[in-house]
Amino acid sequence: MQLISQRLCMEKDLGIHGNLFGGIMLSWLDEAAATMAYEVCHSPNMVTLKIDEVIFTKPVKIGFHLKIYGEVLRLGKSSITLLVEARKHNVYSGEETLVCSTNFTFVRIDDHGDAIPISERVRERYAHLDASKKESK
């Protein structure tokens, strides 16, 4: 997986139980995933279509340093699906602990907001993902 963003959990990010508020985590993941989708698809005109099941594996407390990683799972004609993970990073040991993960699907849109194909060049670069899926069936 590739590192796409880093965040520090501050007091303003906490919910009423003293953990990072889930909606804040989701916005961090969405923003990080969007930047990766832009980069991979060579286009800033990508919108979030779908967020799969979100698992908040561990609580995130004030002062935690989070690293957000992404990986391309699927590249369709106009859509891209990324696996995104937030991991707590321990600066002393370098140890990373998964705290939240989900899949995001983004769609490339035109000026009217309609879905349009991701460039052929990009799709060719990720064609191996479809091939490996077929082989594993």
Ligand X SMILES: CC(C)(COP(=O)(O)OP(=O)(O)OC[C@H]1O[C@@H](n2cnc3c(N)ncnc32)[C@H](O)[C@@H]1OP(=O)(O)O)[C@@H](O)C(=O)NCCC(=O)NCCS
Output the smallest distance, CB 49 to ligand X, in A: 4
Number of residues that bind ligand X (CB under 6 A): 13
Dihedral sign from CA coordinates of 35, 36, 37, 40 = positive
Of 33-52, binders to ligand X (CB under 6 A) are: 47-50
**Whether the Cβ atoms of residue 129 and residue 73 lie closer than 8 Å to each other:** yes
Q: Which stretch binds ligand X (CB under 6 A): 36-44, 54-62, 70-78, 91-99?
A: 70-78
Output the smallest distance, CB 55 to ligand X, in A: 19
Output the smallest distance, CB 47 to ligand X, in A: 4
32 is a contact residue toward ligand X (CB under 6 A): no
In sequence order, the 6+-apart residues with CB closer than 8 A to the CB of 48 are: 30, 33, 34, 104, 105, 106
CB nearer to ligand X: give 19 or 78. Answer: 78
CB nearer to ligand X: give 4 or 9. Answer: 4
b (16+ CB within 10 A) / e for 58-87 = eebeeebebbbbbebbebbebbbbbbbbbb
**Whether the Cβ atoms of residue 73 and residue 117 lie closer than 8 Å to each other:** no
102 is a contact residue toward ligand X (CB under 6 A): no
Say whether 12 sits in a helix, a strand or coil: helix
CB nearer to ligand X: give 63 or 113. Answer: 113
| Site of interaction with ligand X (CB under 6 A) | 47-50, 76-79, 105, 107, 109, 113, 115
